[in-house]
Structure 1
Amino acid sequence: MPLVIPVVLGSVRQGRNGLRAARYLVRCLEARGHEAPLVDPAELGLPLLSRMYKEYQPGEAPAALERLAATYRRSDAFVVVSAEYNHSIPPALSNTLDHFLEEYFWRPSAIVCYSAGRYGGVRAAMQLRAMLGELGTPSIPSLLPIPEVHKVLDEDGILLQPWLERSAGRFLDELTWYAEALREKRKGGVPY
């Protein structure tokens, strides 16, 4: 049975390389038969967090939040694509994630990190791992770092270097295992 796995992009910068990685992951997930909507903060135009989605009265949340909440509620897992800004999480990603809470519960996440340099954004990934756990969508053990992302993927997310295909395959195999296992457990209820 196909999974629903939104790919949450974390950058709104002009010329952002993260879109390359996000497009690639959407394509990989769809090739496996899964639904992989792209959550792009540049397109969503979410306000800076002044109140969470759950703090709005029914029908009063901005339309973008309502649409995103509907997507998240039917999701089985999340792929989070993050750059590294000052050894940390991009502010647009934090803002996008922080609007929600219960919508993440009992669903795994997977971290894809990237950079123009050799470290592939792993310092941000460590902080993101803690944040995702606190949100209720704990990350799988593996990461998918993409160093020198502009040399690995073109602007449309097409592979330029074949090593990523094998790494991404193992990474998505792991995420699929966790997502299917937790989906089955959610059917029987959750601890609270």
Structure 2
Amino acid sequence: MADRILVFYGSYRHDRAGIRLADYAVACLSSVGFDAELIDAREVDLPMLDRMYKEYENGQAPVAMEQLAAKIRSADGFVFVAGEYNWGMQPGLKNLADHFLEEWFWRPAGIISYSAGRLAGARASLAWHGTLSEMGMVVVSSTVSVGAIGQTLDADGRPVGEAGQALERSFARFAEDLGWWVEAGRCQRERRRPPF
């Protein structure tokens, strides 16, 4: 059975260039044998955080939250496609992530950052690294950073030019790294129950 990877994307903007990168990630992960699914925060449409999933009585959480909690619990790993807004995180993706906590525990996560500029979302990537670690995930050391997103992927999400070639090379390493940690985590969970 293929390892299940959820790819999270969080822009709510009308013209979302980053969705190309999220779709690219799902396609590439699927092509190397993962069961990858896109989780689009705008489509899930959770409310601004008031109560976390765990704060609802059993069966009382909103349907979208309940369904997403089940998907997160059953996943083997996660990828966060993180755009940078004003040196920080996209609020839509952060809001979605914050609705959950224990559901994330003991699985690896990878970060793919992007921006329209040359810094490729590096500041958002750094912020996400600490956040995901605090939320109980092991963040893999390989990252993918895409600057000038509009010049890296065309409107259909296909890599173009030198920037696209660089993306393909870095993504291959990223997928291998994520796969190693997914396998390591699964083996460890089978060998020994997580301590909490």
Report TM bin, short chain: over 0.9
Counterpart Cα distance in 2 of 1:151 and 1:102: 38
The letter of the residue matching 1:14 is: H
Deviation at 1:105, TM superposition (A): 0.4
> Matched residue of 2:88: which SS?
coil
Q: How many residues align?
A: 192
Displacement of 1:155? 2.8
* Partners of 1:87 and 1:16 in 2: CA distance: 18
User: In structure 2, how many angstroms separate the alpha carbons of the residues matched to 1:2 and 1:74?
Assistant: 12
Q: Which structure exhibits the higher relative contact order, with contacts defined as CA atoms closer than 8 Å and separated by 6 or more residues?
A: 1
Structure 1 residue ranges without an equivalent (≥5): none
Partner amino acid, structure 2, of 1:176: G
CA–CA distance in structure 2, aligned partners of residues 168 and 35 of structure 1: 16
Shift of 1:13: 0.9
Which of 166, 170, 183 aligns to 1:167? It is 170
Aligned identity (percent) is 45
Alpha-carbon deviations, 1:122-149, whole Å to 9, x = none? 0111111000000001311121001111
Specify which structure has the higher proportion of strand: 2
Write the deviation string for residues 18-62 of structure 1: whole angstroms up to 9, x where unpaired: 101100000011111211111101111111110001111111111
Tell me if structure 1 keeps the 8 A contact 2:88–2:124.
yes
Aligned pair 1:176/2:154, yes or no? no
Deviation at 1:156, TM superposition (A): 2.8
2:144 and 2:167 map into 1 onto residues whose CA distance is 9
Are 1:129 and 1:138, in contact at CA under 8 Å, matched by a contact in 2? no
Match of 1:20 in 2: 20
What is the CA distance between 1:67 and its match in structure 2?
Answer: 1.1
Runs (4 or more) in structure 1 with deviation over 2 Å come to none
TM-score (norm 1): 0.97
CA distance in 2: counterparts of 1:126 and 1:26, whole angstroms: 22
